[in-house]
Structure 1
Amino acid sequence: MPEAAYDEIADWYETEFTAGQRYGAAHADPLGLDALIRDLLGAGSGPCLEIGCGTGVHAGRVRDLGWTPVGVDLSGGMLRHARGRLPVARADAARLPVRDASVSAVLSVMVHTDMPDYSAVVREAARVLRPGGALTHIGVHPCFCGAFADRRDAEAVVIRPGYRESHWSRESWTDQGVRDKVGASHLPLPALLGAFTAAGLVLDRFAEGGGPTPVVFGLRAVRPADGAVARP
């Protein structure tokens, strides 16, 4: 199993980075994740598999919509904090320990830049979805976040050359975030959307969050009712 970069920062992530962002805390949703999850995932029942669940910070949001959150993550350090919030398993998101066509909902929140081959992750999500089930993707906005984006002034985000190329980088406008510590992969918008269509999923809805320049981009993609999905 690949090494998990987040093992080294798991305690910092739990006690400092997300301490003020947890569901139910005052002013805990600066990126508008509550609204995005409500809109794109929506109400339902049964298991909702969160890939890259980290410390389980979104489990309360999922549970309040009627779903039963279940998580997978590569980082044992992150899962150590998640176990009190939802059932979890340590696994590579590109090799999910889940049966074909066994869940109605898959959720990916703010993690696609942590995954070097997100297309493979989307294919796995499509595999485990039941026909008619949906994958909800919510991640940093590919157009306005990345090593090419200087966000020190939220009112005037500066976009430098570099958006069009897929790449991995530790470059960041701040030392208070995650990218400068573990790095991040970037996919331009066409490549990101193409990962879903290539997996055989049907793009259903889109949304943005944060502002004034969007920080987050989300979408809902559905496995066709005939059950056809792409295979590796």
Structure 2
Amino acid sequence: MTAYDTIADWYESTFPTSRRDDPLGIGAALRELLGPGAGACLELGCGTGVHAAAIRTLGRTPLGVDVSAGMLRHAAGRLPVARADATALPIATGSLPAVAAIMVHTDMPAYPAVLREAARVLAPGGVFVHVGVHPCFCGGFADRSDERAIVIRPGYRERSWTRASWTDQGLRDKVGATHLPLPELLHAVLDAGLVFERFAEGGAPTPTVLAWRAKNVPPGCRIRVSPDDAQA
């Protein structure tokens, strides 16, 4: 049983699929970065399937994987799902046009391995969209009780896992969260062989969400800049 199995019913009632507002800009980032398209879009850590409808509105077919049977019990009516670890997807190499990870990287201590697996299953030219908690302004080191004056304590620079939270109404105090400082998180994308294309932030006045779109570009098709070219 995973930590999310124990809170699946609470999550289902607390984070409905039909919210009209988007205070953190999650939906806006997904629409902007994933964009319209066709074919399957695999959502890693799909949870209860709250983002399936948004993916469909873009013309794509949502599929979901998650390790929590409790969460998938709610998701099954919203999209096709499979219980699987995102570091070992039961999906053929190079078979998907799109993969998304939406507000889940802090639930995945092995996120660099997840990114490598996402790159493996993407077709050449396929896109990967990450919409996640902003590592600079959210974590056990951040007190967001006053959005006008967020307090950042020591701890940002260390990779960590914690249940410490400024609120008891969220997820971290219930299931914990992994923190990766921004350089480590971005380097993991590059190390997976993905190429950044676009970025977005969401939430105000201080961002809560950091998102990006990256593409699976075959190594032979990547543009390389020599030191001489860079200095020209």
Which of 166, 169, 181 is the equivalent residue of 2:162? 169
**What residue identity is the alignment partner of 1:14?**
E
- Structure 2 residue 94 is matched with structure 1 residue 96: no
Q: Which runs of 5+ in 2 are unaligned?
A: 222-232
Counterpart-to-counterpart distance in 1, 2:125 and 2:180 = 27
Answer whether contact 1:131 1:224 (CA < 8 A) is retained: yes
TM-score (norm 1): 0.93
2:34 aligned with 1:41: yes
Counterpart residue number, 1:4? 2
Query: Structure 2: how far apart are the matches of 1:226 and 1:180?
Result: 41
Of 104, 108, 113 in structure 2, the residue corresponding to residue 115 of structure 1 is 108
Alignment of 1:1-232 (within 5 A): 3-16=1-14, 18-19=15-16, 22-23=17-18, 25-27=19-21, 29-225=22-218
Q: Once the 2 structures are TM-superposed, how far is the Cα of residue 225 of structure 1 from its aligned partner?
A: 4.0
Amino acid at match of 2:30: I
Contact 1:104-1:134 within 8 A present in 2 as well: yes
Q: Distance in 2 between matches of 1:138 and 1:206?
A: 10
Amino acid at match of 2:3: A
What SS does the corresponding residue of 1:138 show, helix, strand or coil?
Answer: strand
Mean Cα deviation higher: 29-38 or 194-203: 29-38
SS of the aligned residue for 2:49 comes to coil
* Paired residues of 1:104 and 1:132 also in contact (CA < 8 A): yes
**Does the Cα contact within 8 Å between 1:130 and 1:227 map onto a contact in 2?**
no
Rounded to whole Å, the distance in 1 between the matches of 2:20 and 2:213 is: 28
In structure 2, how many angstroms separate the alpha carbons of the residues matched to 1:222 and 1:97?
Answer: 21
Structure-2 separation of matches of 1:128 and 1:223: 10
Shift of 1:221: 1.0
Alpha-carbon separation, structure 2, partners of 1:175 and 1:181: 8
Structure 2 counterpart of 1:26, which letter?
Answer: R
Decide whether the 8 Å contact of 1:131 with 1:227 is kept in 2: no
TM-score by length of 2: 0.93
Q: CA shift at 1:204, angstroms?
A: 1.0
Aligned length: 222
5+ residue gaps in structure 1?
A: none
Partner-residue secondary structure (3-state), 1:26: coil
Matched position secondary structure for 1:30: coil
| Distance in 2 separating the partners of 1:129 and 1:227 | 16
Question: Which structure would you say has the larger Rg?
Answer: 2
For the aligned residue pairs, the C-alpha RMSD in angstroms reads: 1.4
* Alignment check: 8 A CA contact 1:53 1:73 kept: yes
- SS in structure 1 opposite 2:78? coil
